[in-house]
Structure 1
């Protein structure tokens, strides 16, 4: 068995709780604060979830403010970082259209906490903007100790990930190993979604190529050692970008997904699956809304998808996902590629077909329950994930 029932018997609550705990090795939470917050939340009570995580975040943030006012920079820095995770966690169940003011507030507070933290960080972290079509995307560029040019890790987050969370989900581990890091919200994610109204697109190379252009214009970047890492939904987005962007030295896809759009039909009740693209929209939306009313987990998936893809109905969202596929494209990936899955992650069923279609040098790490690493994105085993992945990266991009 994997890591379950740690703080809640409700699997959705428990999964998000474990996600918060996963930031502990990198300063994003503390075990006592997290567990005491969880104890104040009745099972299934989403209002209490928002209230209690926000209360913890407010308290830790206030303590950080007091520390910085008294000149205790390290204490303040550590407090601001923990507040980032607690504010992010507070709003996680508010992903649904239209934007909930409480959801917007949770993001703004997360971002504000991170802004306070980077002013005090041991790392050199810049607020930067990356051109994207006729717009600009906000990002953080963080540099390690020592002199460049640096190898660079470019992070691609998931459906409900943010660039601030990316600092804990790979950023710190990379910095400790001498990598510079680019943390960015693409369309459909974090600030790009909430502040700019940008939504997901299947051709993620359109998002990554401007990032590569920006990086390669910097003298402190090693042009031959730029790595792309996608986690969760980024396990589709990053490989998709690599099918067209060949300046990437290595690719890591954690929770890799080969044909997520094709698999969308399995979100329909079995008797309606073959009608996904041909059935009556009113009837199918009624079916989906009925399923959402019966299952909070299913409702979360549909609501989050509608918000991040920019649709008003669940059927529109499911039909749109047909464009999200690596079938017939994966062979165009030219860089060494590492796929990672946790033993319990249902998305792992879609990893083997991707691995089979890859023609570039490739490896597949399967993380196990026995190592406490079997959950989605190896949550609960962040240090083990970093060890395995960055050892592979170091060996791969440093080979003569």
Structure 2
């Protein structure tokens, strides 16, 4: 197995940049409980990186081993170990389904196994989590996982963690949920991939604006008795579009938001403007985009990596445009020297999430939880 190690510490198989990125995500997940470093390297050592089927087979084997250990631990009454193994298994199944050109039947099998592991984890979590279905379109429901922070009779603050297209919500069970739980915040993990019982996602993308998914998610939470509807935040994970920013622009119910703030839309608009100008078509600033972005009234956090897809000076310039007449806009840039500097902070999600959830907790008025005083379900 030959790989390159660049100056930023990236492990790279030159012939497969896509799988290299996924492998880095898997390694980084180890510090959040989504993998183990040894299992990642052992699995990678068996993979022919030019063969998507080989990638699928080997990660599926590793996932199966963790899933089996989870059931064995559960049978022995060791729930902590069972939950840990199910979390790793669902992440490995997610990796198995990753290759874009993977046969549909194999992808469906991996996704089904991943969701089964997630359901087992939620079922035996304390407090117990829920698999929820949120109506969106007539032929496309959103699937989510609701994880209460602690057993309580009163309504609790909640953060919606929603993935950009291509990001699966199962990752948030180990990546984000512990950060929320430790700060007394419940979590709703959701993505825009649906429950795979209706329209294919690719067909949906051609006919539906993704930002329309935000309102029904908020409606669902507001309708729950255990949610403090005055303390609901949203975190858009992935940072490859501005659909979360567009979705919250005209919804005053959000108490805080962590997303790109519309920067991606601004960047794409500027790019198209330059292209059109070079072709002799003079296009100006879009009043609609400006109006949407300036209508985000809740406190806003924008985090970006110094090695991300946009240069930091460009991000700062665009963020300054968003900050006009605003009272609470925070821009955090993670530089190369501290890590968490890659796109989406995939090189060190822990560092970024600590900052993000401290910021969310400060806006929602929560703090660290003393676990020994929290009531637990039997």
Q: Same fold (TM over 0.5)?
A: yes
Structure 2 length as normaliser, TM-score?
0.80
Select the residue among 190, 197, 200 that pairs with 1:197: 200
1:194: how far off?
7.0
Show the counterpart of 1:102.
106
Show the counterpart of 2:4.
none
Distance 1:260 1:197 in 2: 29
Change (3 A) 1:11 1:3: farther
Larger mean Cα displacement after TM superposition, 107-116 or 127-136: 127-136
Distance 1:385 1:50 in 2: 29
Show the counterpart of 2:54.
48
Distance 1:383 1:104 in 2: 30
Does residue 344 of structure 1 match 2:350?
no
1:344: how far off?
0.9
Number of matched residues?
340
1:43: how far off?
3.8
Change (3 A) 1:193 1:129: closer
1:1-400 equivalence runs, <5 A: 1-5=7-11, 8-9=13-14, 10-94=16-100, 100-134=104-138, 136-147=141-152, 148-186=154-192, 189=193, 191-192=194-195, 196-198=199-201, 199-200=204-205, 203-233=209-239, 236-253=242-259, 257-259=264-266, 262=269, 326-347=289-310, 351-352=315-316, 354-358=318-322, 359=324, 360=326, 361-398=328-365
8 Å CA contact 1:341–1:348 kept in 2: the answer is: no
SS in 1 for 2:242: helix
1:330: how far off?
0.8
Structure 1 unmatched ranges of 5 or more: 276-322
Distance 1:398 1:263 in 2: 37
Provide the aligned C-alpha RMSD in A.
3.0
Distance 2:117 2:213 in 1: 26
Distance 1:39 1:75 in 2: 26
1:67: how far off?
2.1
Distance 1:62 1:107 in 2: 17
Select the structure that is richer in helix. Answer: 1
SS in 2 for 1:35: helix
Change (3 A) 1:34 1:62: same
1:47: how far off?
2.6
Show the counterpart of 2:370.
none
